[in-house]
Structure 1
Amino acid sequence: MYPYSENARFDIDYYCSHHMPWVAGLLGTTLKGWSADVGLGGGAPGSKPLYVAAGHLLFDSVDAFKAAVAPHAKAFADDLTNYTDGDPAVVQISEVRASS
């Protein structure tokens, strides 16, 4: 999740068409799915979003995530400057309890 900042650049087109597919390719079949979304606004009408964008990676377990990402963490971080000059991503590991 990338925190929103009034003056930060975030190239959502690059993020969606290049960064996330590249990440997915490096993670291979351990990655069960991915998505990316762009923040449009906060809860109050007309307010700014808390996050400008979020990328979601789906794995079978936390251990699978760690094993797949660790060898590529530096490369993923090095690509940040290609799509943002804002704060680095906030990482949260979650468990999907429901989806449609």
Structure 2
Amino acid sequence: MEKNVKDRNYCCFETLATFIVEKEATLDEDSMIVAHLDSLKESFYYYFSEEMKFCDKNIWIVNPFQSDVVATGISTKADEELIDLSEDYSFKMSFDRKRLI
């Protein structure tokens, strides 16, 4: 989100985007919005750090073609099959053409 604010991309914040357009306002990197987003990020990490670690460990489910698929926590045999799958270029091309949503 901070990158979006730096790039002046406010599409995630529809009301804010409307306000900025209507009032011709600008935001700087030290704005209250950026500070609030940083605070939210810290709070999320504090309350959900274990869940985030679990998600990071299972990110291979979302994209098995990432370069760091080895640290999955699955069995060795399944891990080897995942590595074989992740190195298959034809599967990767097919995966890249499809949308998850």
Asked if TM exceeds 0.5, the reply is no
Radius of gyration: which is bigger? 2
With CA pairs under 8 Å and 6+ residues apart, which has the higher RCO, 1 or 2?
Answer: 1
TM-score range, shorter chain: under 0.3
Normalising by structure 2, we get a TM-score of 0.26
Higher strand share: 1
